[in-house]
Amino acid sequence: MPGQEPGGEHGPVRRPPAPRRRRGRRLAALVCGGLAGIVLILSGVGLATVAGMTRQAPAEPRPQPGAQARAAPTSAAAPAPVPVRPTLGLEVVDDDRAGARVVGVHVPGPGYTAGLVRGDVLLTFAGTRLATATDLARAVAASDPGRAVPLTVRHATGTYQQLTVTPGIVT
C-alpha cells in the first residue's frame, strides 16, 4: 500500500507539524476586549445622563383665559443706570515732550475714523492743551459723546494736522 514500508511493517504514523500560534494574538484580544468594555461603560454613562436630563421640571399651572396677569415683583432698589462715558478708542501713553502718544487704535472706533494711527502725538483736544495722557483722559471724559471735537496731531513724520474726532460710547 502506498505510504507503507516495503516490509509490510507498520511504523508510527507521521503527522505534519501543527502551525505555531502567533505570540501577539492573546495580547491583541485582551486589548480589543478592554477597549470594547470601556466603550460600553462610557456609552452607558452617556445614556444615563441623557435619561436623567429628559425628566422635566415641574410644570407651572397655565393661566386661565381672561385671568389678570400678575406684575413682576419690583425691587425697592432698582439698579442705577450706568453713566455714559465718552471714548476715542485709543490707547495712549505720555510722550517724551508734551502730548499723549498713540500706541494703539481700536478698529473700528472714533480715533480710527478720524485718521489717527499709532505713533501720532495728540497735542490739543477741544482747545485744551495736552501735557500728558491723563490730560487727554480728562478732556475726553468732559466731552459730549456724538459731538465733533477739533484735535491737533503731530504725526510721526513731524508734520502737524488738525483733525475732527467724534467721541463715542462704550457699549
What domains, with CATH codes, occur in the chain? 86-169 (2.30.42.10)
pLDDT for 113 equals 92
Residue 53: pLDDT over 90: no
Residue 159: pLDDT over 60: yes
Q: Over the range 7-43, which residues count as b (16 or more CB within 10 Å of their CB) and which as e?
A: eeeeeeeeeeeeeeeeeeeeeeeeeeeeeeeeeeeee
pLDDT-derived band at 44 (thresholds 50, 70, 90) equals confident
What mean pLDDT is predicted for residues 5-26?
68
Residue 55: pLDDT over 70: no
The C-alpha atoms of residue 141 and residue 48 are separated, in whole angstroms, by 57
160: CB partners within 8 A, 6+ apart: 123, 152, 153, 154
pLDDT for 52 equals 67
Residue 58: pLDDT over 80: no
Residue 78: pLDDT over 80: no
pLDDT for 132 equals 93
Better-scored residue on pLDDT, 75 or 149: 149
Residue 153: pLDDT over 80: yes
* Nine-digit cell string for 136: 487727554
The C-alpha atoms of residue 8 and residue 3 are separated, in whole angstroms, by 10
pLDDT for 43 equals 87
Residue 10: pLDDT over 70: no
pLDDT-derived band at 29 (thresholds 50, 70, 90) equals confident
